[in-house]
Structure 1
Amino acid sequence: MATRICYIISFLTGIGLLFIGLRFLFSPLNAEFDYGISTNTHADYSFHYIKGVRDLFSGILLVLLVLANERKALAIALLAATVVPLGDFMIVMGKNGSDWQHGIAHLMAVLICIIVGPVLLMQKKRTNNPYNQVSFNLIQSAANGGPTISECDLLPGAKTPWHYHTLFSERFEVLEGELEVGRNGKLYQLKPGDKIIISATETHLFNNRSNGVCRLRTTIDPGNIEFEKAALILLGLAKDGLTDKNGIPKKFSDLALFIYLNNSKMVGVMKIVEPLLSFVAKIAIKSGRLKILEEAYCKTTGLQDYGDLKYKK
């Protein structure tokens, strides 16, 4: 909560600096008056423009650091920037004596820097990764013949878009929690013990709309080694912080690889990007990225030993 409040204050401060900077560029006399001093420049506003540009830079910097979630860099920038409003305060008060009407604004800027900066530095970066508690158990592998049977945990918010597979059917069985499953345009609310079969080429999705973890058993028939690899790689990426909060790989080539290995075919508007995803995935395979991911996340299961991608799409 403290970090969020500091971010809001910093963002609003950045917006304020952008306004002040623009005012010095487009209305230098009024901006000078609000600053708290009055000088006779003989209509030469060069220094006003210089200040305007510097305020614009400061505002852009604060806004970008907030949007990029660069907590530590934002804190250091604020602390370093303390000299600016402090100098402004001393200039205004030194020139006009007791002009607190204008001096108070600069003093407030000083307080923002010396309070928000240290507070941000003291906040600990969140290291809790919910995917560290998520498991994927490969109960039966296609490497041993027969279907692929696995059990996995789906975190709240875990979902897929509408898609279909051409190489296998899927059977979902909810063991714990709740899960919304879509099949051919219809939605089904599954509870523990409920099952649903998705035939090959049937469009489907799943979505954990609940606030709890859903434990799901999935049966792939016929079994598919690449599907198993895709699941293990995705979970490994998530545990290493290489996915976003929804479990989607941050690296586009890893996302393309997952979709390719998973034999997922897009529907609707997303069908347009399918050739691009396939192309990127093939490049990632050829460049050795798949081998790296297999070594990192499939080694304990032995699935990395099951050769190159040879199945038909």
Structure 2
Amino acid sequence: MTTKIALAVCLLTGLGLLFIGARFLLDPEVAMRAYGVNVDTSGDFSFHMIKGIRDLFSGLLILLLVCTNQRRALGISLLAATVVPFGDLLIVWSKNDDLALLMPHLTAVLICIIIGPLLLVRKKKVPVVVRKPVQVIHSAASHAETVTEATIYPGDKTPWHYHTLFAETFELLEGRLQVGKSGNYYQLKKGDRITIDALELHSFYNNTGVSCRIRTLITPGNLRFEQAGQILTGLANDGLANKRGIPKRLTDLALFLYLSDSKPAGMAKMAVPLFALLAWLGRKCGRLNALINRYCFPMPA
């Protein structure tokens, strides 16, 4: 969160410098008064042009570093650039002690000496939990039903959704799991089973802090669902999913929803056309085939 705030401040600072630079080039007299000095140049605005170009360069540099997520380069640049607003502050102070005119330069100094070091602080790397692959016990390739076993890790959560092509039966093999069904919540423990019919809203959430093991029965069997589970695990192990196991890339998420026949509910329905488009693009550009080739293994006979 701190990094996002720092980057937002840098983004606004870059845009502000572009505005100031453009104003020095287009209206140098107004820009000079806003800067905090008022001298008779006799119509020669050469140094104003230099100031404008300097600010334009500084703003563009900051924006490019923000947009390319070059945090360390941005932090170093801000620290080195401290001399610029500090020099401006001294110049204005020598001409005018009006606090209102000094504040913009003092603010710029503070941004450089506070945001710069924040961007240089390395985040502690959270160790990636190596997820066990989804086991396909019975595949739709040779059985009427799909049977899988999977580990649900602490924090794993799905939003409310439904399937149109099949029903699901969950059986908890180990641990505990919260399952939502038609607006109600059920706390499953080892040995408990619950069936979700086609078109029935449901969700699950491992809120226990301990991994659990679940067997899922899909009726009728569905090969795409089997692939979806394997791809989801592979993405998570490659750091391409968030801490709740959801793919970070929208295209990958759209392809997972397509494969698993998962239809969002509630406000998320508004994103259905976007996900449909992304899934289509993912299939056309070969992303789906790449995911299948990388993460899916042959189904058992």
TM beyond 0.5: yes
CA shift in 2, pair 1:265/1:168, >3 Å: same
| In 2: Cα distance, 1:60 partner to 1:43 partner | 28
Q: Residues 173 and 213 of structure 2 are in contact (CA less than 8 Å); yes or no, is this contact kept in structure 1? A: yes
1:180-214 deviations in Å (ceiling 9; x for gaps): x2223x22131423432112332322234x36245
> Is the alpha carbon distance of 1:187 and 1:43 closer, same or farther for their aligned partners in structure 2, counting shifts above 3 Å?
farther
Q: Deviations over 1:275-295 (max 9, x none)?
A: 664565455445543332122
Aligned partner of 2:231 among 230, 233, 238: 233
Note the residue ranges of structure 1 that are not aligned, 5 or more in a row: 307-313
Aligned to 2:131: 134
What residue is the counterpart of 1:294 in the other structure? 292
1:14-93 correspondence runs (5 A):
15=12, 25=23, 32=32, 35-41=35-41, 51=51, 55=55, 58=58, 70-89=70-89, 91-92=91-92
Match of 2:216 in 1: 219
Alignment pair present for 1:249 and 2:242:
no
- For 1:275 and 1:85, the matched residues in 2 are separated by 48
Assess if the C-alpha contact under 8 Å between 1:21 and 1:54 holds in 2: no
TM-score (norm 1): 0.68
Return the alpha-carbon distance in structure 2 between the equivalents of residues 127 and 82 of structure 1.
30
Change (3 A) 1:117 1:237: same
Counterpart residue number, 2:170: 171
Q: Give the superposition deviation at 1:81.
A: 2.3
- Assess, with a 3 A threshold, how the Cα gap between structure 1 residues 69 and 191 changes in structure 2: closer, same or farther: farther
Which residues of 2 match residues 203-214 of structure 1 at below 5 A? Answer: 203-208=201-206, 210=207, 212-214=209-211
Question: Deviation at 1:178?
Answer: 3.8
Select the residue among 184, 189, 192 that pairs with 2:189.
Answer: 192
1:229–1:175 Cα change, 3 Å: same
SS in 2 for 1:247: coil
Code of the aligned partner of 1:74 = L
Give the SS at the match of 1:40. coil
1:85 alignment partner AA: P
Distance 1:108 1:274, change over 3 A: closer
Per mean C-alpha deviation after superposition, the further-off stretch among 22-31 and 246-255 is: 22-31
Tell me: CA distance 1:115–1:150, structure 2 relative to 1, closer, same or farther (3 Å): same
**Which consecutive unaligned segments of at least 5 residues does structure 2 have?**
none
Tell whether the 8 Å contact from 2:235 to 2:241 is kept in structure 1 after alignment.
Answer: yes
Equivalent residues in 2 for 1:106-121 (5 A)?
106=105, 109-110=108-109, 112-113=111-112, 116-118=115-117, 120-121=119-120
Cα gap change, 1:268 to 1:86, in 2 (>3 Å): closer
Correspondence for 2:257: 259
Report the counterpart of residue 151 of structure 1 in structure 2.
150
Contact 1:20–1:31 (Cα < 8 Å) also in 2: no
- Larger RCO: 1 or 2 (CA < 8 Å, sep 6+): 2
What letter corresponds to residue 162 of structure 1 in structure 2?
Answer: H
1:294 is aligned with what amino acid? I
Identity %: 38
| Alpha-carbon distance in structure 2 between the residues aligned to 1:270 and 1:21 | 38
Instruction: Tell me how large the CA RMSD over aligned residues is.
Output: 4.5
The secondary structure found in structure 1 opposite 2:119 is: helix
**What is the TM-score with the length of structure 2 in the denominator?**
0.70
Distance, in Å, in 2 between the alignment partners of 1:269 and 1:52 is: 47
